[in-house]
Amino acid sequence: MLAEQYEAFLLDLDGVVYLGTQPLAGAVLALRRLREMGKQVRFLTNDPRPTRVKIVQRLQAMGVMARHEDIISAGWATASFLRQSDLSSVYLLGSSGLRTELEEQGIRVLEQGVVQAVVVGYDEDISYREIQQAVRFLEGGARFIATNADQRFPTPEGTALAAGTLVAAVQAGSDLRPLVIGKPGKAMFHLALQTLPPQGRAVMIGDNPATDILGAHECGLEAILIASQPPHFPSTRDFRQADMTIPDLSSLFQEGLSVRPWLPQSFAWPERVEAGVAAIIFDNETRVLLGRRADNGLWGLPSGHVEPGETVAEAVVREVYEETGLGVQVERLIGLYSDPVSQVFSYPSGLSSQFITSCFLCRYINGKLRCDEREVLELAFFPLRALPEQLLTMHPQWLADALSEAERAFIR
């Protein structure tokens, strides 16, 4: 049975252990049996409103054994991050419980003056004026920290709006991307694992594929989903795909169940998929044009995004001109590249995107080389046998495809 396969159990709360003030079917007995078996139990909740003390009191009132140190909440994890980052003054959009967690770790919550960070959690009474004030602090240089980004959570009355809706409002007003502390981010998982013995197999159990399952897989943990039916994800490499789906915690003790082990992937999980283009341009000596990119310092082919209303052919001509100053003409499609191992890019902002890139062989028409230093630090033509060492990993394959003179475009 599943309960015997792991030494540590990381559990979400809402939708797994309880719903509102009522425990879910089988939860109390299952947790008691895990404790009796000597298993380690930690509770990881993205609800940033209550203090850990209040969560312990709620669990104990339901008959669930829980200690203060068993609780890893998004609010407490955010306070821990601020303390470790020496961010000691914040403007808060959040509950009184979150304020208590911050203040207990030495974080001052201010309404005016100089604040180092804006912390966005959740409270039903947040006003438009408070959101406006948060945006003004961000415009003044404060860091944007979100406890979590869940858009909704389950309640006995149905789905309720969660912190992510408030985070989205501040994000829209500031045009800034927050650092999100809660699941699926790694911070809460790391805090939980730090309290466990280094040896021993751990599993995450949750009801949200986009936070509990995805976050566990990004940390290399196996993950079990609480649901009546498993959701469908088309790719076998989808991080949101649970390793096992069970209806409730009592199934941990059902004979004959085993988890399909999660195989860690060699790419970060992308938040979105985008259309991209790249150009291979040879000079008269069959040297290839490469640029050293400003965002990562690596050499690569001229490349970029497809903008709304563009064809891929129009996009590659535009990108080449913007990055290099050269006018080119598309000769043929070399290949269409989408493998996430090479086509997922993570940016300094924290955003990860998977590109579906159309790579073209292009012919020089006119213009002189010049750098757009916002994107490219330097440009040069390189002999194919003397390519720079710091070259984007997928571009040698694209060059080989271009030189193969295959009759059809490659799909990789």
Domain of 31 in residue numbering reads as 2-46+184-253
Predicted pLDDT at 260: 83
Q: How far is residue 397 from each of residues 228, 278, 411, measured CA to CA in Å?
A: 45, 13, 12
CB contact at 8 A, 167 and 144? no
pLDDT band at 305 (very low <50, low <70, confident <90, very high): very high
The DSSP result for 158-213, as a single string, is EEEE-HHHHHHHHHHHHT-PPEE-STTSSHHHHHHHHTS-SSS-EEEEES-IIIII
- pTM, two decimals, is 0.90
Among 204, 222, 253, residue at a domain's last position: 253
Residue 68: inside a domain: no
Does 216 fall in a domain?
yes
Asked if residue 288 and residue 404 are part of one domain, the reply reads yes
Lowest-pLDDT range of 56-60, 81-85, 90-94, 291-295: 291-295
Q: Report helix, strand or coil for 84.
A: helix
Q: What are the pLDDT digits (tens) for 189-245?
A: 999 999 998 888 999 999 999 999 999 999 999 999 999 999 999 998 999 999 999
Question: How many Cβ atoms are within 10 Å of 283's Cβ, its own excluded?
Answer: 10
Q: What angle do CA 82, 207, 202 make, to 5 degrees?
A: 70
pLDDT given at position 295: 81
CB 223 within 8 A of CB 242: yes
Helices 163-174 and 128-139 sit at what angle, rounded to 10 degrees?
A: 50
Average pLDDT over residues 49-74: 97
Tell me whether residue 265 is in a domain. Answer: no
Average pLDDT over residues 26-48: 97
Please give the positions annotated as active site: 378
Residue 67 — pLDDT band, cuts 50, 70, 90? Answer: very high
Q: What is the pLDDT of residues 88-145, one digit of tens each?
A: 999 999 999 999 999 999 999 999 999 999 999 999 999 999 999 999 999 999 999 9
311 and 211 in one domain?
no
Q: Choose the most confident range, by mean pLDDT, from 136-145, 258-267, 287-296.
A: 136-145
Decide: residue 371, CB within 10 A, 0-12 exposed, 13-18 middle, 19+ buried: middle
What is the arithmetic mean of pLDDT over 373-391?
Answer: 93
Residues 188 and 171 in one domain: no
Does 35 have pLDDT greater than 90?
A: yes
Asked whether residue 396 is assigned to any structural domain, the reply reads yes
Pair (155, 25) in one structural domain: no
Residue 65 forms part of a structural domain = no
Chosen domain end from 180, 202, 228 = 180
- In a domain? residue 259: no
* CATH number of the CATH domain containing 132: 3.40.50.1000
